[in-house]
Amino acid sequence: QVQLEESGGGLVQAGGSLRLSCAASGRTSSSNAMAWFRQAPGKEREFVSRITWSGTSTYYADSVKGRFTISRDNAKNTVYLEMNSLKPEDTAVYYCAIGSRNVWTAAAQYDYWGQGTQVTVSS
């Protein structure tokens, strides 16, 4: 089994920044990919960003490209999401997920999920 724990969410004004963390424990593998998704009230879960454990491949949704950066620290078994120039439309619960190295943007492709961390951006 794999356990994922998100942290770093909070309340921030538009234009501000937050850094989310996702710590993984259990039977993780270097073949895994990790991703961030988000879900606003009444909306479907939306892909945000993806990274392979090697860090050699990253991918971003168009809505966050140029503003968000995904990174990892393999020694700590942790993935980060640095969010800059935040907008009110970024308000959502952010979830960390893990799947095989071949997964991309569909939530159904991922095998394990964290419980989420709330990000609220005020105007």
What's the pLDDT tens digit per position in 84-114?
999 999 999 999 999 988 888 999 999 999 9
Of 102, 120, 117, 96, which is closest to residue 47 (Cα–Cα)? 96
Beta-strand (E) ranges in 14-91? 18-26, 32-39, 46-52, 58-60, 68-73, 78-83
Please report the pLDDT score of residue 53 as a whole number. 78
Round the average pLDDT of the chain to a whole number and report it.
93
Q: What would the pLDDT profile of 35-85 be if each residue is shown by its tens digit?
A: 999 999 999 999 999 998 777 789 999 999 999 999 999 888 899 999 999
pLDDT at residue 77, as a whole number: 87
